[in-house]
Homo-oligomer: A and B are copies of this chain.
Amino acid sequence: MSNTTARIAVAYHSGQGHTARQAEAVAAGAAAVPGAVADLVPLDELTDEVWQRLAAADAIIFGAPTYMGSPSAVFKAFVEASVKVWAADLGWRDKIAAGFTNSKSMSGDKLNSLVDLVVFAAQHGMIWVGLDIYPGWAESTASIEDLNRLGSYIGAMAQSDADLSAEKAPPETDLRTAAALGARVATVTLRHQRGSLAA
């Protein structure tokens, strides 16, 4: 079973590039796990190819910026269009799912966006994987450089200062957390796949 491959799609929308950088970090984290390959799938145009790449994935990690407290409208258009996959006997059933989001403030209602993603994935019969990292930056001696510096668990959060372009934000610390999510999803997906083969 050593040649099992886990295909991890990162299905994301980014308005100004910050969430795209988070998506790239998630994908890099996934691809670094032996046996996993990552596929970055922007959702700006919902071509047939987009749906084919998602159909071929063993895991889909969803990402969107948080705008006014929930995922972006472009992402929501994707969510809505996915009803055709849902209607075809739950086409994404048992795929692994996870999520990430970026906004300009520390909490910034990002948790609401992640809950939206969980609810969406559950309608598809997917299996949800979050982070398994203690909260960072949560003691007087702790550092902003800690993994999971914002204290999120159902998915990965990033914070980008409103006046910084995507070259400068989100900070490296949040990209490392994003990569850790990608790696974790790849690891769990491989386990899940090997189990399917063994059955």
Contacts and interface: CB of A to CB of B under 8 A. Distances in A.
A73 interface: yes
Number of this chain's copies in the assembly equals 4
B119 A69 contact: yes
A40 interface: no
Contact of A154 (B118, B138, B152): B118
Contacts of A71: 70, 76
A50 interface: no
A112 B108 CA distance: 12
Contacts of A83: 67-68
Given A90-B132, A162-B139, A151 B77 contact: no
A128 B155 CA distance: 12
Given A70-B79, A127-B129, A128-B127, A151 B112 contact: no
A96 to B, nearest CB: 8
Given A69-B116, A119-B112, A132-B125, A138 B105 contact: yes
Contact of A119 (B80, B134, B154): B154
Interface string A114-142: 01101110110101111110111111111
13 contacts: A68-B79, A68-B80, A69-B123, A72-B80, A90-B132, A94-B188, A103-B151, A105-B138, A105-B151, A106-B106, A109-B123, A127-B127, A138-B159
Given A70-B116, A125-B132, 5 more contacts: A67-B79, A67-B83, A69-B122, A90-B132, A118-B118
